[in-house]
Amino acid sequence: MKSYRKEIWMFVDKRRGFVNITSEVENCVQESGIQEGLCLVNPMHITASVFINDDEQGLHQDFERWLEKLAPEKPYAQYAHNGFEDNADAHLKRQIMGREVVVAVTNGRLDLGTWEQIFYSEFDGKRRKRVLVKIIGE
């Protein structure tokens, strides 16, 4: 069995945002040379998430509104964690959206559904963060 590891560096210049990273992950699969296996993609930060869904702007706006209702950024004083930071909502949003995705690799390609795309979601941006891509297989 072969193994491949790469870090993709991200910078979102706003507090929150969604970035389609499907092509970067596909490049990793090509670089790995793995034809059959699994590809794990996860942010290496506790205020970011990776998820799979449709690349449709209205849906992304819906996610933003929904997450803000579930874990509003302000007032900061509503969260115990914000005693020394202002990002408690980012931790909660990450918990809701999940940590990582695992995608099958079949015939040297990501085995995604018709509309499925891989997204990095940032909830406490304005700084560099990493996304880990780990691929194992034959």
- Joined together, the tokens standing for residue 119 give 């997204």
Give CA–CA dist 53/118, Å, rounded: 7
Domains detected in the chain:
2-137 (2.60.120.460)
> CB 6: neighbour CB atoms within 10 A?
16
pLDDT digit string (tens) for 79-119? Answer: 999 998 999 999 999 999 999 999 999 999 999 999 999 99
Give tens-digit pLDDT for 6-45.
Answer: 999 999 999 999 999 999 999 999 999 999 999 999 999 9
Nearest to 60 by CA among 114, 16, 99: 16
Q: Measure the CA–CA gap between 17 and 26, rounded to whole angstroms.
A: 21
